[in-house]
Amino acid sequence: EAGVAQSPRYKIIEKRQSVAFWCNPISGHATLYWYQQILGQGPKLLIQFQNNGVVDDSQLPKDRFSAERLKGVDSTLKIQPAKLEDSAVYLCASSLVSGGAIQTGYTFGSGTRLTVV
């Protein structure tokens, strides 16, 4: 089974620039998550999709972050404009959800390490 694919692996940008991350979840996993992991902290949920609909984006800084999952498969997360405090690893995960319940744990991608200078 192929894992969760993310790209790019690393990105360095200047503050106020924009950046986009891409994620391809495991085939058949309808639920997709974007997490932000700042150095020394645990992953923090940014947004959750069920198919192509947003389930929870309450912790997404909507003034600068946006995400979409147009066809219910791949997803992109964008930051515009970036700030220094956005430096983090951005993790994509997918899971199998049935009856509203997570049937297993998440499968994570390798993440994109963003450095904002």
Partner 1 sequence: AQSVSQHNHHVILSEAASLELGCNYSYGGTVNLFWYVQYPGQHLQLLLKYFSGDPLVKGIKGFEAEFIKSKFSFNLRKPSVQWSDTAEYFCAVRAGSARQLTFGSGTQLTVLP
Among 31, 36, 75, 112, which residue sits at the site for partner 1 (rule: CB under 8 A)? 31
Token pair, residue 88, equals: 């983090």
What number of other Cβ atoms are within 10 A of residue 80's Cβ? 13
Q: Does 25 bind partner 1 (CB under 8 A)?
A: no
- Gyration radius of the chain's alpha carbons: 14
Q: Is the dihedral of CA 71, 48, 92, 31 positive or negative?
A: negative
Q: Which is nearer to partner 1, 9 or 15 (CB)?
A: 9
Strands 44-50 and 31-37: antiparallel
CB nearer to partner 1: give 65 or 106: 106
Minimum CB distance to partner 1, residue 45 (Å): 5
Among 19, 25, 32, 48, binds partner 1 (CB under 8 A): 48
The C-alpha atoms of residue 107 and residue 20 are separated, in whole angstroms, by 21
CA distance 90 to 70: 19
Query: Which of 19-27, 69-77, 79-87, 100-108 is the region at the interface with partner 1 (rule: CB under 8 A)?
Result: 100-108
Binding site for partner 1 (CB under 8 A): 3, 31, 33, 35, 40-45, 48, 50, 55-56, 91, 93, 97, 100-102, 104-111
